Structure 1
Amino acid sequence: MACEIAPDYFDPLAVDQEQARDVARWRKAERARLLADRQALSVSQRRAAADMIAARVDTLLAERFPNIDGLTLSAWWPIKAELNLRPWLESLLARGANVTLPVVTAPSAPLAFRLWTPDCRMVQGFWKIPVPADGPEVVPDLTLAPLVGWDPAGFRLGYGGGYFDRTLAVLSPRPMTIGIGLQSARLATIFPQPHDIALDVILTEAGVQYEQKDA
């Protein structure tokens, strides 16, 4: 180890445990605040935001994928006042795309993705979230990730379980990642830690807020 050879060696990837605890406490408080703010929005406000975002994702897909026929995309089943994109997902299916939903197969394990259609059999999964009951597991070409919060550097504040980052770290090939959230959920920074993985794009009802140059 470098620190044994040179005691004054500084590892820039090392984690300061006290700082990590401070960040975790801060994230917990911000997560609660942002979830309360989102819950306070009316159903019509959330529906309008979802409709605007769906149109903006369509524009982004048209720029990146000349033909979405056969494209496999992962989304989410809305919980905790999340934006409901299911009507738009159904339109993707009608255009020939494949839609998947994430499935927790074991605590703290990377997510799996199962194909979804409006008439597929659903069961109650982890956190009581409905998931496809069966069917093949696939690797999506594109993942949409719901954002509790986000920052201008492309980092996502989620629910704190680490499932999304853990999944991105092992998927091969790694899919394009688009974070979907509200403009009001913008944070100056989430204080990214070594395990945090920046998204390729962050998109809100106001448009694209972040995009990796090589994404």
Structure 2
Amino acid sequence: MVDETIEDAKAGLRRQAHAARAALSPVERAEAADRVAEHFFAGNVLQPGQVVAAYWRIRDELDCQPILLRLMEGNQTVVLPVVLGPDQPLEMRIWEQGTALYEAGFGTLAPSELAPLAEPDVVLMPLLGFDSQGTRLGYGGGYYDRTLAQMTKSPTLIGLAFAAQELDAIPREDHDVPLDAVITEAGLRHFGASA
């Protein structure tokens, strides 16, 4: 059952977060992406051999290409999410160095449908907003919620965002899995037991 009060509150927060993100200049976005990559690698959040799920930026999301390129150069296994359908979990396809990416809907790119699949140990998540409790505000499609619910492991969830996307409080529903950490241009912040 959908709680309309929570959905209305989240819709308002989505508008607020969209506006904050859209207000950033291209220079601010590029500088933030580089700083987020620096904080990511300085934060020692990865172990050798771990599979990392990243994403290909759409619209004005924080660009994680600086992270992706360094992961690929370091021979870390990287998977990119692919939307298969409106009510399905994401498919995590391995992006191997030197292989092409293809349009995968929503303005994003992904490995071909022939690419091998893998479950990630670390998931770098795009978001619209986050709060001090590690609650992530997504676009409302539930893709990551469905994906995490069907996985056999519990990956470390790291939100990538601009500092301007922090909100005072986001209502959390039972299906909302909190972030373990968020990285903005201001630094790396852990939530929960690891805070």
TM-score normalized by structure 1?
A: 0.82
- Provide the C-alpha distance between the structure 2 equivalents of 1:158 and 1:189, rounded to a whole number of angstroms: 14
- Kept in 2: contact 1:152–1:210 (CA 8 A): no
Say what the alpha-carbon RMSD is for the aligned residues.
1.9
Residues 1:41 and 1:117: Cα distance change in structure 2 (over 3 Å)? farther
Q: Percent identity?
A: 35
Equivalent residues of 2:83, 2:91 under 8 A apart: yes
- CA shift at 1:146, angstroms? 1.1
> Mean Cα displacement is larger for which, 197-206 or 119-128?
119-128
Matches within 5 A, 1:6-155: 20-60=3-43, 62=44, 64-65=45-46, 67-68=47-48, 70-117=49-96, 119-134=98-113, 135-155=115-135
Aligned-partner Cα distance in 2 for 1:179–1:207: 12
1:213 counterpart SS class: helix
Q: Secondary structure at the match of 2:147?
A: helix
Deviates more, 1:142-151 or 1:21-30: 21-30
After superposition, the Cα gap between the structure-2 partners of 1:100 and 1:186, relative to the gap in structure 1 and judged at 3 Å, is: same
- Runs of 5+ consecutive residues of structure 1 not aligned to the other structure: 1-14
Q: 3-state DSSP class of the match of 2:123?
A: strand
Aligned residues: 194
- Give the TM-score normalised by the residue count of structure 2: 0.90
Determine the structure 2 residue equivalent to 1:200: 180
Give per-residue Cα distances to partners, 1:46-85, cap 9 Å, x unaligned: 011111111111022x2x44x53x3210111111211112
3-state SS of paired residue (2:178): coil
Q: Deviations over 1:90-139 (max 9, x none)?
A: 11111120111101122211111111246423332232422211311110
Q: Counterparts of 2:9 and 2:150 in 1: how far apart (Å)?
A: 27
Question: Residue 189 of structure 1: CA displacement?
Answer: 1.3
Report how far residue 194 of structure 1 moved. 1.4
Residues 157-202 of structure 1: per-residue CA shift (max 9 Å, x gap): 0111011111111211111111111111111211111111111112
Q: Post-superposition shift, 1:143?
A: 0.4
Instruction: Give the letter aligned to residue 87 of structure 1.
Output: P
Unaligned runs of 5+ in 2: none
CA separation of 1:96 and 1:34: change in aligned 2, threshold 3 A:
same
1:172 corresponds, among 146, 152, 164, to 152
Q: Tell me if the contact between 2:123 and 2:155 (Cα under 8 Å) persists in the aligned partners.
A: yes
Shift of the alpha carbon at 1:145? 0.4
Whole-Å separation in 2 of the counterparts to 1:117 and 1:50: 22
Distance 2:133 2:84 in 1: 31
Rg larger in 1 or in 2? 1
Distance 1:107 1:23 in 2: 21
- Superposition deviation, residue 36 in structure 1: 2.5
